[in-house]
Each structure stands twice: as structure tokens, then as C-alpha cells.
Amino acid sequence: MNATESNKITKLSYAVAILFVVMMMAASVMLSNQEVVLPEVAAMAIAMWVYREPGWIRQPSFICISPTVTAGIGLTMNHLQMDFTVKAVFTLMLIMLFLRMIRSNLAPAIATGLLPLAINTRDWSFVWIVLIFTMILMLGVLVFKLNRGVAKKGSIKHKYMFVFLVFSFCWIGVCWIAGYQQLAVIPPIFVVVYESLQKPTYTGMMALKQGLTLTLSVSIGVVVFFSFESPVLAAMVDMLLILALSHIFRVRIPAMYAVPLLTFVFPEDQITTLPFVTLAASLFMFTSVLLYKKAELKRALKGVNV
């Protein structure tokens, strides 16, 4: 395949993925149900259909199974009569336990598990919505053989699941102390943190780009949300602006396409605070990952020298 053909396929893939997100928004409007909008589905469409992210398409069946099960976990936890912070902690623990059991590293499953808490839904139709959209994503991967050549088994370092939980609990604790516990859970950020821990190397520039682009992405989402009356048009503008932003910064962060859509599912009184919370969460979480990875590298080098 030459460069011209590859470029055409990439453009077509972007068009199909963005159209899929816009159709999801249109379905939400037609059904008068904002829970049809699943921000992480936007990230999954870009990562799987455009980027062909190996870790996300390695095992196609998990594309559907993992997010649906974790959505059920999050929804179940949200039905329990307990403090939000406790719900968030137990939900994360159960999600990590489930992923450990099925030996999956599908990070989007973290987001679908946390979303019921973030938007405070108790409607079991949420699980069916996740099932339907992830099934479409899975079929896209299978029909067009997007996982061709991708090894079925990947390296999963389970110690990072524990580290991820520690960082997540610390951040949730900070929000609880500050009195912003309802804003402690921004699902796409948790996904990026988890994936960053799994990377063999992690630099300050990577952390800076992640924090900056995610904050700018959610800021774009807030401005667009209040600028357009039509949610469908707003979603289209969101996706196109994020596409431009990703090219400007030369980054491939699927979560950038998810965070603007949070404005359509979060309580309206929390929307204007999303950029500030995203910035704070990014500073805390990505700095924690960076310090950990630097310490890990230092230990590795010390071991080699010995």
C-alpha cells in the first residue's frame, strides 16, 4: 500500500468514526435520553477504527464484553446506599479485579465502569446501551479485519493495576478533602493514566502534552456546548476541532475525543468546572505517573550497574 492509498484510508476512517459519534448523539436526541451519549465510545471509535490501537483490538470479543460488564459493575455500585467516595473506590477495585480475572488490558472498560457514578444513573438500560455501541465497534473491527496481524496476546503487567489504584485513591481522597467528591471521577483521565503506566517509557513531555491537550479538549467541549443549540451539530464541531487539535500537537490520545462529550452527560451545574477539574486531575495524576516511572527507571538502572 502506497502513501496516497494509506492517507485515503486514514481520512475515510476518521470520517466513519466521527459520523458514528454524531449518529450516537442524534440517537440521544431522538430518544430524548442523554445516557445514550457514551463519551468513551468516541475514544474507542477513533482508537480502534482509525489508530488501530493493538491493545484495544487485540481480542475483539473483549471490545464488547469488558465495557458491558464494567458498566454493570458501576451501575450496581451506584444503586448501593453509601458515600460517593466509597462507591468510587469499590468500583475501581472491582473493575481491576475483573480485568485481572479475564486477563484483559482494555482501558476503556475503566471509563464505562465509572461513568454511571459520574452521571449518577441508576437506569439498567445504560448497560444495554453500552452493549449495543461496543458491539458495533467490535463488528467494525471484525468485518474490516482491523486486527489483522495483531498478536492475540499482549504483555500485561499486573503490578500497574495496583499502582493505578493507589494513584486513583489518592486523587479521590484529595477531592473528598476539598469537598469536590462528585467531580473526582472523570472517566477518560483514568483511562489515560492507566495506559500511561503500562507504557515502557514515560517522559515529562508526554505528561505535559496529555494534561494540556485533555484540558484544552474539555474546554473546547464547554465552549461548544454553550455555543450551539443543536447537540448533533455541537458533537460534529467538537470532533472536528479535536481532530485539528490532535494534529496541531501531533498526539494520538483517544481520550481527547471523549472529554468534550462529558458536557452532554454531566450535570449542567458542573459543566463550567470541568476544565479546572481536568487540569487539576491531570497535574496530580500525570505527575504521579511521571515520578513513579522515573523512580522505576532509576531502580532498573541501579540494578543493571550492580
Exposed, middle or buried by CB within 10 Å (0-12, 13-18, 19+), for 129? buried
Mean pLDDT computed over 169-186: 92
Q: Which of 150-164, 170-184, 211-225 has the lowest mean pLDDT?
A: 150-164
CA distance linking residue 201 with residue 294, whole number of Å: 9
In the chain, where are the structural domains located?
3-305
Predicted local distance difference test score (pLDDT) of residue 156: 78
Mean pLDDT of the chain: 94
Predicted local distance difference test score (pLDDT) of residue 1: 61
Mean pLDDT computed over 89-104: 96
pLDDT at 77 over 80: yes
pLDDT at 23 over 70: yes
Q: What are the pLDDT digits (tens) for 44-63?
A: 999 999 999 999 999 999 99
Are 262 and 39 within 8 A, CB to CB?
yes
Are 53 and 17 within 8 A, CB to CB?
no
Question: Buried (b) or exposed (e) across 171-182, using 16+ Cβ within 10 A?
Answer: bbeebbeeeebb
Q: In this predicted model, which residue has the larger pLDDT, 268 or 194? A: 194
Predicted local distance difference test score (pLDDT) of residue 96: 97
CA distance linking residue 299 with residue 58, whole number of Å: 31
Cα dist. 199→125, 194, 230, 283 in Å?
35, 9, 39, 18
For the chain, the straight-line distance linking the first and the last C-alpha, in angstroms and rounded, comes to 48
Mean pLDDT computed over 81-94: 96
pLDDT confidence of 272, banded at 50, 70, 90?
very high
- Copy the grid coordinates of residue 205: 513531555
Predicted local distance difference test score (pLDDT) of residue 43: 98
Predicted local distance difference test score (pLDDT) of residue 5: 80
pLDDT at 304 over 80: no
pLDDT confidence of 305, banded at 50, 70, 90?
low
**Percentage of the residues of the chain whose pLDDT score is greater than 70:** 98
Mean pLDDT computed over 284-293: 97
Exposed, middle or buried by CB within 10 Å (0-12, 13-18, 19+), for 200? exposed
Beta strands in 68-112 (DSSP E): none
pLDDT at 133 over 80: yes
Residue whose entry in the numeric block shows the C-alpha cell 474539555 = 218
Q: What are the pLDDT digits (tens) for 180-239?
A: 887 899 999 999 999 999 999 999 999 999 999 999 999 999 999 999 999 999 999 999
pLDDT confidence of 155, banded at 50, 70, 90?
confident
Mean pLDDT computed over 123-149: 95
